[in-house]
């Protein structure tokens, strides 16, 4: 894709919006990466928008992971097993995704966006077992849940080219019972791993727009820093912000669905 001033500006702006959302409310922004790249930036074909999005999502998640790791919120062993299982799923899912017509895939993506919006409307609870760890004693209880849930989440993440954080967070809670803050932090290990796995698969088929991806990542880092600062200042309003962002996702999902059906 030829990068002119307008395309460059939209690429940085799109990345900033995704990064800002991730920094502000801890999720949701990556689900907008595909429609932003496809319809605002104009990345074509549709599969290239998905591959480029996967790379950007993985890199943004890795950037945000560093902050959570410094705060000691990541449950590394649980996250590692979940991510390792999900990598196999992401490889299978992204291979299957490349076989599906790109426009149809983005149409199905609209359904995933609606599911994301609904998930964001659900209240997040801070309850959970803060002492949960994957050890020799707990392995027999945790591994039979971490591995299959991680595998299934990876398949969906790879198929749609998304980070899948909105799936990984409840998946980790279901598998381990860890608190929400630990699940959000630990989910970034999976989001990064799934994103890079999907991106590598698409890159092997020449389906990543590298110049756009670079500009998108620059915007994502800038937006993530701004979102993190805003999050600390607006901590009391994060629930309300999630509801507003969920509405935005519903609106974009309606547009994506209409576009894929030829009505927009």
Q: Please indicate whether residue 89 or residue 105 has the higher confidence score (pLDDT).
A: 89
- Do 69 and 39 contact (CB within 8 A), yes or no? no
Q: Name the packing angle between helices 102-121 and 238-260 (round to 10°).
A: 160
What is the pTM assigned to this prediction? 0.81
pLDDT 10s digits, 38-81 = 889 999 888 999 899 889 888 888 887 887 888 888 999 999 99
The predicted model gives 232-261 an average pLDDT of 73
Structure-token pair, residue 110: 């609209």
In which band, very low, low, confident or very high, does the pLDDT at 235 lie, cut at 50, 70 and 90?
low
Q: How many residues does the chain have?
A: 264
Distance CA 91, CA 153 (A): 12
Res 238: pLDDT: 59
The predicted model gives 113-121 an average pLDDT of 77
Domain assignment of residue 256, given as a range: 5-260
Res 162: pLDDT: 74
The predicted model gives 254-260 an average pLDDT of 78
Distance CA 86, CA 6 (A): 37
Distance CA 118, CA 242 (A): 11
Q: Is the pLDDT of residue 158 over 80?
A: yes
- What burial letters (b/e) apply to 120-146, b meaning 16+ CB within 10 Å? beeebeeebeeebebeeeeeeebeebb
Res 231: pLDDT: 67
Domains identified in the chain, total number: 1
């Amino acid at each position: 894709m030829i990068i002119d001033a307008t395309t460059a500006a939209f690429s940085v702006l799109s990345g900033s919006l995704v990064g800002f959302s991730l920094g502000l409310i801890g999720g949701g922004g990556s689900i907008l990466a595909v429609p932003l790249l496809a319809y605002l930036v104009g990345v074509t074909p549709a599969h290239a928008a998905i591959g480029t999005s996967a790379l950007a999502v993985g890199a943004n998640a890795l950037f945000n992971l560093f902050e959570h790791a410094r705060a000691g919120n990541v449950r590394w062993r649980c996250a590692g097993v979940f991510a390792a299982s999900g990598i196999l799923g992401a490889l299978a899912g992204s291979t299957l995704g490349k076989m599906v017509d790109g426009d149809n895939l983005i149409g199905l993506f609209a359904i995933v966006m609606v599911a994301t919006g609904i998930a964001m409307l659900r209240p997040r609870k801070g309850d959970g077992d803060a002492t949960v760890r994957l050890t020799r004693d707990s392995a027999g209880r945790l591994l039979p849940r971490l591995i299959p849930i991680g595998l299934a989440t990876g398949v969906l993440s790879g198929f749609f080219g998304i980070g899948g954080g909105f799936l990984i967070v409840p998946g980790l809670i279901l598998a381990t019972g860890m608190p929400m803050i630990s699940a959000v932090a630990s989910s970034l290990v999976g989001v990064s791993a799934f994103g890079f796995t999907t991106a590598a698969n698409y890159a092997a088929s020449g389906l990543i727009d590298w110049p756009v991806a670079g500009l998108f990542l620059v915007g994502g880092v800038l937006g993530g820093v701004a979102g993190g600062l805003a999050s600390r200042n607006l901590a009391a309003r994060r629930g309300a912000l999630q509801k507003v962002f969920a509405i935005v996702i519903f609106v974009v999902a309606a547009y994506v669905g209409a576009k894929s059906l030829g009505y927009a």
